[in-house]
Amino acid sequence: MYNGQQPIFILKEGTTRTSGKGAQSNNIAAAKAVADAVRSTLGPKGMDKMLVDSMGDVVITNDGATILKEMEIEHPAAKMIIEIAKTQEQHCFDGTTSAVVIAGELLKRSEELVDQNVHPTVICEGFRLASDKAVELIDSHGAGVDEKMLTEVAKTALTGKSTGAVKEFLSDISVKAVLSVAQEGDDRAIVDLDDIKVQKKQGGSIRDSTLVDGIILDKERVHSGMPRSVANAKIALVNSAIEVKKTEVDAKIQITDPNMLSQFLDEEEQFLRSLVDKIVESGANTVICQKGIDDLAQHCMAKSGIFAIRRAKKSDMEALSKATGGRIVNNLDDLSEGDLGSASKVEERKIGDSDMVFVEGCPQAKSVSVLLRGGTEHVVDEVKRAFEDAIGVVAVAHEDGAVLTGGGSVIAALSRDLRLFAESTGGREQMAIEAFSSALEVIPRTLAENAGLDPVNTIIDLRKAHSEGKSTHGVNVYKGGVVDMAKAKVFEPSRVVEQAIQSASETAVMILRIDDVISSKGAGPMPEDFDAMDM
C-alpha cells in the first residue's frame, strides 16, 4: 500500500508466497528431510525400509531410488532431490542413496554459510569450482578393469542388500551375463542391458537362480500332444497367425447346398494343413508364434512332433532372434531353412506353480536370460532389484574401463584434495569449497554411523590415513577403524562417484538460487509444512 492507496493484488486468491531466507530455509529443510529418509540405508550395514502404498501393496527395499519413487512427496524442492536418485539410477544403476545424501549435506553446509551472510551466488560459484575439480581428480584414483575386477564390482553392489549372503553366486551370474552380450565398439565395449532378460519366480531359494545362454519364456506349449523337450532345435520365429484369415471387410458367404458346407470346411482344413506343411518343409521342429495358432494347426503340429508356443511378446521375439540367430518371418510362404534359429535344447519345465519354456544352448547367443528365485514374493522382488543393480554396475565398469575403491576412500581423498584446492583459490568462494569438502565426508561418516561405530573417531582415523598417503583407505564397517579398500576388494565404477557428485552439486546450486516460492491454491502442502516432515 502506497500513500494511503488501495493495495494491488497481482496473484489470485489463495496463492501463498514465501520470499528471501524463509524460502531458502524451507526448501533446504525439505531437501534435508528427503536425504535423512534414505540415509540409514547407506552401506553394507544399512537397514531396509518397508513402504506401504494406498492400495496396501508392500515394498521392502534399501534401494534409494525405489524408496523415493514409492514415497508420495509433494514438496517441489523435495521432488528435485528425488530427480537426483532417478538420474543416478538411469546412468549408473547404483549410488542413488550416496547422491541424495551428498545433496542434503551440501544444502545443510550452505545454510550455515548463508547464516554467516555469504551470498548464495558466491556459494554456488564455489560449489561449481569444487565439483569441477573433484571430477577432474577422480581420474587419478581410477584403476583398470578385468573380469576378476568386474566380479568384485558386482559383489560390492550386492553387499548390504538382502542378497549379501549369496553375493559370490549372483556376482558370477551377473558378470557372465554382461560379458555374453557385450559387443566391441570403436573405442570401448558396448553393453545393451535389454539383451539380458531377467525373469523372477517365487519358490525355491536364491541359489536356485540360473543363467541361460538363450531365452526363458513365461509360456507353455500350446498342445499337450507336443513333445515336452526338443533336442537340436530348429526354431521358426513367426509373426503371423497360423489361422484362417478373416476378411478385411464385412462379408457373407451363402451356402445353399450341404455339400458346399462340407467343401468349405475341407478347404479351411486344407489351408491350415498347408501352413503346417510349409513349417515342416523348412526343417523347423519348434515354432514360436507372436500371434494365434488354430486348434487344427496345433493338432497337425503335434502329429508332426513340432513344439509350438503362441502369443509370444514382441520383446521376446526380438530377444530370440538375437539369441538363436533366426529371422522373424511375417509370412509363412517366405519361411525357408535359412530363416531358422538354432538351439541345443527347447524344453518346457515346471517352475513353481507354472510352466516355463527354456530355449538354451544357443551357440552365438547375443541375448541371455536369468531366472531369479526366492522364498517369497517380497524376497524375489528385492533380489531382482539387487541383481539389476549388479548387472548395471558391471556393464558401466566394463564400458568405461575404470573403477575406484569404495568404502568412502575416494570421497575422503577428494575431500582432502579439495581442502588444499580451497587454500589456493582465495576469495569468499574458498569458504564454499571448504564447505563442499566437508560435505563429502558425510559418506564415510554415515557408513560409520550405520555400522554402529563412532563417526568422529572414524573420520579422524580416515583423515590421518590419507595424510600419510594411504589414499585407498576407507571405513571398515565390520571391525571399526580404517582399512585398505584395494586389499579388501571393495570397488565401484568411477562413473557412480562422478555422477553422484555432479548431480548433487548441480541440484544444490539450483535450490540455493531460489529466493521466492509462489504456490497456487490447491498445489499441495506448502513449504513451511515440511519443517516437521515426518519420515
Catalytically active residues, by annotation:
63, 96-97, 389
Alpha carbon distance, N-terminus to C-terminus of the chain: 42
Task: Please say whether the beta carbons of 92 and 495 come within 8 A.
Answer: yes
Give buried/exposed letters for 35-64 (b at 16+ CB in 10 A, else e): bebbbbbbbbbbebbebeeeeeeebbbbbb
Reduced to 3 states, what is the DSSP secondary structure of residue 474?
A: strand
Segments in 401-489 forming alpha helices (H):
409-425, 429-440, 442-450, 455-467
Alpha-carbon distance 131 to 121, whole Å?
15
Calculate ∠ Cα 99-100-105, nearest 5°: 100
DSSP 199: E
Task: Please say whether the beta carbons of 159 and 451 come within 8 A.
Answer: no
Q: Which amino acid is at 469?
A: G
- Going by their DSSP bridges, the two strands 16-19 and 286-289 should be labelled as unpaired
Alpha-carbon distance 461 to 473, whole Å?
10
Q: Classify burial at 400, counting beta carbons within 10 Å of its beta carbon; exposed 0-12, middle 13-18, buried 19 or more.
A: middle
Calculate ∠ Cα 160-165-169, nearest 5°: 110
